[in-house]
Amino acid sequence: MGQDQTGMSAVVEATNLSRFYGVVLGLNNVSFAIRPGITGIVGPNGAGKTTLFRLLTGQIKPSSGELKVLGGSPWNDLNVRAQIAYCPEDEAVPQGVRPPDWLTGLGMISGLSAKQAKAKAAASLERVNLPAVHWRKPVTALSKGMKQRVKLAQCLMHDPRLIILDEPMNGLDPMGRAEFSAVLRELAADGASVLISSHILQDLEALCREFILLRWGRMPTAGNVAANAAKSELAFDTSGKAGTVPIKVAVRWPKETTIRCEDPRKLAGFLMGRGLLRGCDIDEDGTTLVARWDDPAAFYDSFHGHLLASGVAIYEVNAPGSHLESAIEPPPLP
Amino acid sequence: MNDSTLNSTATGPRVAPRMGAAFQGVVRLMWAQQMTWRAMLPLAVGVGVLLLMTYLIDRDEVVSWAETFVLMTVLPILAFEAGARAVREDLKPGAVDYLITRPIPRWAYVVFKYVGQLAVTLIKATVGLILIVAMIRGLGVEINPIGLWFGGLVSGVAAFMALGFLMGAVTSRYLILGLFYAGLIEGAVGNIPIQLNKLSILRHLRELLAATGEVSAWPSLGFMGLIVAVLLAGAAGWFSTKEFIGEKGGES
């Protein structure tokens, strides 16, 4: 594994990587390095995120350029694939199989003995908080949120070093997303690298230290990103090769957040009591709190915890003009 | 979990890939999906219908009916369909993501899947045929030699399942390809007295079942083995080079 300018080993290195489907563009000449930790892949639909994931998991080959995952090629190196786990966006799961049976089979395909795989399946399902009552149901009969947990659990079976998650938070309620995020943080703390895409940008902002921006199969150039960053008060670390390193968001939290909830007044009082608010408004309907933060990082660094501790039922959290959203916004037409 | 398969070093896989465990895992998943009461129900209904037909057929015709209809028609179709469906199920978007990203060579996956599917199908088919043979004997009709009959079952299922694997791997419209094969190879070429008729699986199966002092079973068995190997190699080769671009096809 190569090292980047900070001296950290890169888990993924792509050099002039392209992938085309006939005349259709998937990825076009992108170069980047992904360092250990949790990295977000962001971009609008059709940006090339899933193509990148398929390349990283060895399901497709690059049309040109070079891709190294954990020092090898995922297309034909079994040792590389033995260190990768993939949670696809697709909801399809095998028919008629219960979660423990499915996980045990997949664990054995990864190299575990039957006994090890059974034990690991139970441990993984517990780790993702799948209630025991769902263990006896076929995976196909589970709700979307429960399926997402099982899909994450199958990623944990062989203790991978790189976990790739494509829209894993779809269908999860706020509490489920908080639990999911906590598991990902634990995995990162245990030394696994996590690569995650999501359209729920607030969650990504709270979870990831670094991001890769994709747009129309390309990575925006450092100049474009910096221009957007300036507009949205973001600071990007482009200290590596221009446009080829993950973009480090140093100042990324929105100063204002709208929270639709059961009791905005109670929530405002709670947040004020914790010294998080600089000011706030409650909309005319009395259902939404517009919170202006004293120190946005103090709230966002553990926003799931703050909201859960408030005891107020939360329906929606939104940051108008999320900085990440601003960063991936396409540049205006000339 | 103290086991030699686990690796706690800073680099390399924490769980080393093992072909034996992978084979067991593939078979285990298949078993969990296919050996359930719900999955068995259509089979039970089918066997029930065949038993009823066996009972209703004229006693003098029942053995020949069982051979030509059950062994030469029903089983090849079921074996072909089971093989093709096994491959297609794994190629579905979603399913393929969980399997192909695991540390197992693609050719090995196809072979493991074939062996597992063959075992599951033979178990089901053998149970059905035992009931049919018992029914025939219960009618007071001798059916001999039973061993050869079941030999025909194994080789026929193995060959048609391999054909299903190849056609299922190549296209989702494997039934059309299968009908084309049935018409051209089994229906036409297989009945013409030229060397090409050796391509017909049913022809070898017929020779196998009719094996007497005049026609030895070994050449037919050899051809069946060769056919299985070639078809399976084709399916494994195709699977090994295929790129899985997902449901949205060219879209990213």
> pLDDT-derived band of residue A233, with 50, 70 and 90 as boundaries?
very low
Say if residue A106's pLDDT is above 60: yes
CA distance A241 to chain B (A): 26
Read off the pLDDT of each residue in A157-161 and give the average, rounded to a whole number: 93
Cβ neighbourhood burial of A143 (10 Å; 0-12, 13-18, 19+): exposed
Say if residue A301's pLDDT is above 60: yes
- The verdict on a CB contact (< 8 Å) between A114 and B28 is yes
Chain B residue with CA closest to A72: the answer is B12
Read off the pLDDT of each residue in B198-207 and give the average, rounded to a whole number: 85
Interface-testing mutation among B15, B31, B41, B251, with chain A (most A C-beta atoms within 10 A): B15
> pLDDT-derived band of residue A73, with 50, 70 and 90 as boundaries?
very high
Q: Rounded to an integer, what distance in angstroms lies between the CA atom of residue A10 and that of residue B43? A: 53
CA distance A13 to chain B (A): 16
pLDDT at position A267: 92
Q: Which strand ranges, in their side-by-side order, compose the sheet holding A288-293?
A: A277-282, A288-293, A256-261, A314-318
Whether residue B99 lies within 8 A of chain A, CB to CB, comes out as: yes
Read off the pLDDT of each residue in A178-186 and give the average, rounded to a whole number: 89
> pLDDT-derived band of residue B241, with 50, 70 and 90 as boundaries?
confident
Size of interface A-B (CB pairs under 8 A): 170
Q: Which helix (H) or strand (E) holds B111?
A: helix B106-138
Read off the pLDDT of each residue in B68-76 and give the average, rounded to a whole number: 88
Whether residue B58 lies within 8 A of chain A, CB to CB, comes out as: no
- The verdict on a CB contact (< 8 Å) between B13 and A82 is yes
Please give the radius of gyration of chain A, using alpha carbons only, rounded to the nearest integer: 21
CA distance A11 to chain B (A): 11
Say if residue A235's pLDDT is above 90: no
> pLDDT-derived band of residue B20, with 50, 70 and 90 as boundaries?
very high
- In 3D, which of A183, A187, A234, A189 has the Cα closest to residue A213? A234
Say if residue B8's pLDDT is above 60: no
Whether residue B42 lies within 8 A of chain A, CB to CB, comes out as: no
- The verdict on a CB contact (< 8 Å) between A83 and B97 is no
pTM of the model: 0.78
Chain B residue with CA closest to A49: the answer is B252
> pLDDT-derived band of residue A19, with 50, 70 and 90 as boundaries?
very high
Chain A residue with CA closest to B86: the answer is A94
Cβ neighbourhood burial of A75 (10 Å; 0-12, 13-18, 19+): middle
Contacts of B12 in chain A (CB under 8 A): 79, 83
**Percent of chain B at pLDDT above 70?**
87
CA distance A156 to chain B (A): 11
Say if residue B152's pLDDT is above 50: yes
Task: Tell me what the pLDDT averaged over chain A comes to.
Answer: 82
Q: Which residues pair with B233 in a beta bridge?
A: none
Task: Tell me what the pLDDT averaged over chain B comes to.
Answer: 84
Q: Which distant-in-sequence residues (6+ apart) come within 8 Å of A180 by Cβ? A: A128, A148, A149, A152, A168, A169, A172
Whether residue B104 lies within 8 A of chain A, CB to CB, comes out as: yes
Contacts of B243 in chain A (CB under 8 A): 59-61
- The verdict on a CB contact (< 8 Å) between A97 and B29 is yes
* Strand segments (E) across A215-287: 236-237, 247-249, 256-261, 277-282
Read off the pLDDT of each residue in B221-240 and give the average, rounded to a whole number: 91
Say if residue B1's pLDDT is above 50: no
Chain B residue with CA closest to A52: the answer is B252
pLDDT (tens digit per residue) in B92-138: 776 788 888 899 999 999 999 999 999 999 998 888 888 888 888 88
CA distance A109 to chain B (A): 4
pLDDT at position B193: 79
Q: Rounded to an integer, what distance in angstroms lies between the CA atom of residue B221 and that of residue B216? A: 9
Say if residue A228's pLDDT is above 60: no
Higher-pLDDT residue of A57, A305: A57
Chain A residue with CA closest to B113: the answer is A109
Say if residue A251's pLDDT is above 80: no
pLDDT at position B121: 92
Say if residue A153's pLDDT is above 80: yes
- The verdict on a CB contact (< 8 Å) between B247 and A90 is yes
Q: Which helix (H) or strand (E) holds A166?
A: strand A162-166
CA distance B13 to chain A (A): 5
Q: Rounded to an integer, what distance in angstroms lies between the CA atom of residue A281 and that of residue A48? A: 39
Higher-pLDDT residue of B197, B21: B21
Q: Rounded to an integer, what distance in angstroms lies between the CA atom of residue A136 and that of residue A97? A: 9
Whether residue B32 lies within 8 A of chain A, CB to CB, comes out as: yes
Higher-pLDDT residue of B62, B84: B84
Chain B residue with CA closest to A115: the answer is B1
- In 3D, which of A149, A196, A157, A158 has the Cα closest to residue A177? A149
Q: Rounded to an integer, what distance in angstroms lies between the CA atom of residue A177 and that of residue A187? A: 15
Q: Rounded to an integer, what distance in angstroms lies between the CA atom of residue A130 and that of residue A149? A: 7
Read off the pLDDT of each residue in B182-194 and give the average, rounded to a whole number: 84
Classify the phi-psi angles of A70: left when phi > 0, otherwise alpha if psi is within -120 to 50, otherwise beta: left
* Strand segments (E) across B69-149: none
Say if residue B18's pLDDT is above 70: yes
